Amino acid sequence: MRKILEKDKKFTLTFRLNLENILRNEEFLQKLGFSKADITKIFSRIQKVLDAVPEVEKKWSNPWWNVDVETPQIFGKT
């Protein structure tokens, strides 16, 4: 898995950010019905994965579907 993550920096960044997001949302896991012991176990396992995942210097940019696109003019209408 590390080889894949080292090859694709965008995927690695997304992967890391998603795991870090889970670590920041303990309340959400509680709302889903997880016990405190389960959450501690989940966080411990996520942290082990994060320790093995290479850090990426690349910054997050908007996905392609979340950018302003200029609509072309068709048949002289706007």
Q: Would 62 be classed as within a structural domain?
A: no
Measured distance CA(10)–CA(25) in Å, rounded: 23
Interval 31-59 mean pLDDT: 91
Counting the structural domains of the chain, the total is 1
Q: Would 9 be classed as within a structural domain?
A: yes
Measured distance CA(7)–CA(40) in Å, rounded: 31
Tell me the pLDDT tens digit for each residue of 10-38. 888 889 989 999 999 999 999 999 999 99
Q: Would 72 be classed as within a structural domain?
A: no
Residue length of the chain = 78
Measured distance CA(60)–CA(14) in Å, rounded: 8
Q: Would 45 be classed as within a structural domain?
A: yes
Domain limits at 28?
2-54
DSSP-assigned letter for residue 58: P
Measured distance CA(66)–CA(9) in Å, rounded: 20
Q: Would 17 be classed as within a structural domain?
A: yes
